[in-house]
C-alpha cells in the first residue's frame, strides 16, 4: 500500500514543497480533529506510537473548561495504566493499522507512523510493528528512542530501530518506497543541558548513517537555540543528506506552553527555568511564559467571559504565536525546513491548526 500512496516529496532531501503534517492525537476526540484534517493545507498525518486504552485518565492541561482533552499524548507514560499493551491485543497495532473506514477517508494520503523503542519489548517486537505499519500503508516510519515507560529501561534506541527498518526494506520485507525518519531535539541539543554531551551534528550524522532520510524535530521553543542547531547542521554539510521537517507546537494556554518546555527540556526544566542564570535562552523561556500569562490576564479583565471577541482574541493569539515559531524554521538561511509537523494537543489547538498550516504554506511561497 505504501507504493500506492506514493513516497512523499517531503522526504526527499533538497525539495522545498510545502508539505505540512498534522498529528493524529489518540487522546483527543476524533470529532475535535476531523475539521482540521479536512483542510487541504495538510498533506500528511503523523501517528504517534502510544498505548491505546478505552478510558484514559483525565488531565488538566490548562485549557478553558470544555476544551480539555481526556489525557495529553505527551503524558501517556505517566498515566495510571499498565506498562504497555501486549502484541496479542488490538492496542498493540500501530495506529495506521487501526483506522476505521471513515477516518481513513478523512485523513491525508501520506501517513507517517512513529515507532518508539521505549514502547517495544525488543527488536523483534519493533520489526513486527514496522511490517504491520508498512502493510497498512505507512509512507514513512519515524524511528525514535522515546521517553521510556515508567519502571522500564529499554535497551533499544532510535539507531537500533533505524538499522532494523533499513534491513527490512533492503530485504524486501517492507516496500522500497517507505521512507525512514528520525527525530531531533534542537533546543536541548544546542543547550548545555544534554548529558552525555554530544554535538548536534554528530547525533544527526549517526542517525543518517543508520538509514534516516528525514529528521522531524521537536518544537523550537527557544528560537536562539534552534538557530544555533540549524547553523551547526548547515555548516556540517548534513543539510544536503537529510530532509528537515520542523515540529510546530500549538499551545493553547500558559500551562500548555510550560508543558511543552518540560517536554523539550526534560523533567528538570522547572528547576532550570527558575534558576538565577542569566543565559539568554533561560530568559526567553521565562518571557514566553510571562507573555502567555499576560494574555490570559488581559482576556479575563477586559473581555466578557462568553463573548465572541474573547474567543476570537484568544484564537488569534494562539495562531500568531505558533506562526512566529514556524516562520523561524521556514525562512531560515541555515537548514530551512522542507516540511512542518503541526502538533496540537487540545481541541482548541486543533481549531487553530488549519490557520497555522495555511500561514506555513504562504511562508514557503514567499521564501522560494
- Whether pLDDT at 257 is above 80: yes
In a domain, 320, yes or no: no
In a domain, 280, yes or no: no
pTM beyond 0.75: the answer is: yes
In a domain, 12, yes or no: yes
**Other CB atoms closer than 10 Å to residue 196's CB: what's the count?**
4
Question: Do residues 48 and 25 lie in contact, with contact meaning Cβ atoms separated by under 8 Å?
Answer: yes
Give percent of the chain with pLDDT exceeding 70: 74
Condensed to tens digits (0 to 9), the pLDDT of residues 49-58 reads 986 544 443 4
Condensed to tens digits (0 to 9), the pLDDT of residues 335-361 reads 999 999 999 989 999 999 999 999 999
Locus of grid cell 536562539: 224
- Supply the CATH number for residue 207's domain: 3.20.20.220
pLDDT value, residue 267: 66
Condensed to tens digits (0 to 9), the pLDDT of residues 118-160 reads 888 899 999 999 999 999 999 999 999 987 554 455 689 999 9
pLDDT value, residue 71: 39
pLDDT value, residue 148: 57
Domain that holds residue 44: 2-252+326-367
Domain count of the fold of the chain: 1
pLDDT value, residue 78: 39
Condensed to tens digits (0 to 9), the pLDDT of residues 316-328 reads 989 999 999 999 9
In a domain, 313, yes or no: no
Question: Do residues 319 and 359 lie in contact, with contact meaning Cβ atoms separated by under 8 Å?
Answer: yes
Mean pLDDT of the chain: 81
- Structure-model confidence comparison of residues 217 and 18, the more confident one: 217
- Cα dihedral angle (151, 155, 158, 162), rounded to 10 degrees? -140
Mean pLDDT for 2-7 is: 40
pLDDT value, residue 344: 94
Question: Cis before residue 196, ω within 30 degrees of 0?
Answer: yes
**116: which strand partners?**
144
Give percent of the chain with pLDDT exceeding 90: 52
Mean pLDDT for 290-315 is: 77
In a domain, 62, yes or no: yes
Condensed to tens digits (0 to 9), the pLDDT of residues 155-193 reads 899 999 999 999 999 999 999 999 999 999 999 999 866
pLDDT value, residue 297: 81
In a domain, 133, yes or no: yes
In a domain, 307, yes or no: no
pLDDT value, residue 12: 55
pLDDT band at 98 (very low <50, low <70, confident <90, very high): confident
In a domain, 106, yes or no: yes
- Whether pLDDT at 81 is above 90: no
Compute φ and ψ for 312, nearest 5 degrees.
-65, -40
* Pick from 19-23, 77-81, 103-107, 147-151: least confident: 77-81
pLDDT band at 203 (very low <50, low <70, confident <90, very high): very high
- Whether pLDDT at 199 is above 60: yes
**245: which strand partners?**
216, 339
pLDDT value, residue 18: 64
How is residue 220 written as a grid cell?
Answer: 523550537
pLDDT value, residue 149: 53
Q: Which of 15-19, 39-43, 256-260, 310-314 has the highest mean pLDDT?
A: 39-43
- Structure-model confidence comparison of residues 302 and 173, the more confident one: 173
pLDDT value, residue 117: 93
Amino acid at each position: 500500500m505504501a507504493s500506492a500512496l506514493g513516497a512523499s516529496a517531503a522526504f526527499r532531501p533538497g525539495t522545498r514543497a510545502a508539505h505540512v503534517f498534522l498529528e493524529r492525537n489518540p487522546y483527543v476526540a476524533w470529532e475535535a480533529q476531523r475539521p482540521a484534517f479536512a483542510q487541504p493545507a495538510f498533506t500528511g498525518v503523523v501517528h504517534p506510537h502510544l498505548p491505546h486504552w478505552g478510558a484514559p485518565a483525565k488531565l488538566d492541561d490548562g485549557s478553558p473548561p470544555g476544551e480539555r482533552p481526556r489525557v495529553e499524548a505527551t503524558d501517556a507514560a505517566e498515566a495510571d495504566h499498565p506498562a504497555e499493551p501486549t502484541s496479542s491485543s488490538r492496542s498493540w497495532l500501530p495506529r495506521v493499522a487501526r483506522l476505521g473506514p471513515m477516518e481513513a477517508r478523512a485523513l491525508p494520503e501520506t501517513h507517517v507512523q512513529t515507532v518508539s523503542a521505549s514502547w517495544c519489548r525488543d527488536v523483534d517486537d519493533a520489526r513486527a510493528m514496522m511490517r504491520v505499519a508498512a502493510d497498512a500503508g505507512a509512507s514513512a516510519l519515524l524511528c525514535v528512542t522515546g521517553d521510556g515507560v515508567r519502571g522500564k529501561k529499554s535497551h533499544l534506541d532510535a539507531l537500533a530501530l533505524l538499522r532494523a527498518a533499513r534491513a527490512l526494506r533492503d530485504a524486501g520485507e517492507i516496500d522500497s518506497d517507505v521512507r525512514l525518519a528520525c527525530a531531533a531535539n534542537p533546543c536541548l541539543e544546542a543547550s548545555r543541558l544534554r548529558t552525555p554531551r554530544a554535538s548536534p551534528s554528530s547525533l544527526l550524522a549517526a542517525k543518517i548513517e543508520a538509514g534516516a532520510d528525514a529528521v522531524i524535530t521537536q518544537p523550537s521553543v527557544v528560537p536562539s537555540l534552534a538557530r544555533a542547531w540549524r547553523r551547526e547542521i548547515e555548516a556540517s554539510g548534513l543539510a544536503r543528506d537529510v530532509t528537515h521537517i520542523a515540529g510546530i507546537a500549538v499551545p493553547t494556554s500558559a500551562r500548555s506552553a510550560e508543558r511543552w518546555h518540560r517536554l523539550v527540556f526534560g523533567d528538570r526544566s522547572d528547576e532550570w527555568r527558575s534558576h538565577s542564570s542569566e543565559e539568554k535562552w533561560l530568559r526567553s523561556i521565562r518571557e514566553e511564559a510571562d507573555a502567555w500569562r499576560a494574555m490570559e490576564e488581559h482576556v479575563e479583565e477586559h473581555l466578557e467571559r462568553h463573548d465572541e471577541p474573547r474567543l476570537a482574541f484568544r484564537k488569534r493569539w494562539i495562531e500568531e504565536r505558533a506562526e512566529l515559531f514556524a516562520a523561524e524554521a521556514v525562512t531560515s538561511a541555515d537548514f530551512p525546513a522542507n516540511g512542518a509537523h503541526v502538533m496540537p494537543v487540545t481541541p482548541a489547538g486543533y481549531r487553530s491548526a488549519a490557520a497555522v498550516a495555511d500561514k506555513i504554506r504562504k511562508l514557503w511561497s514567499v521564501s522560494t
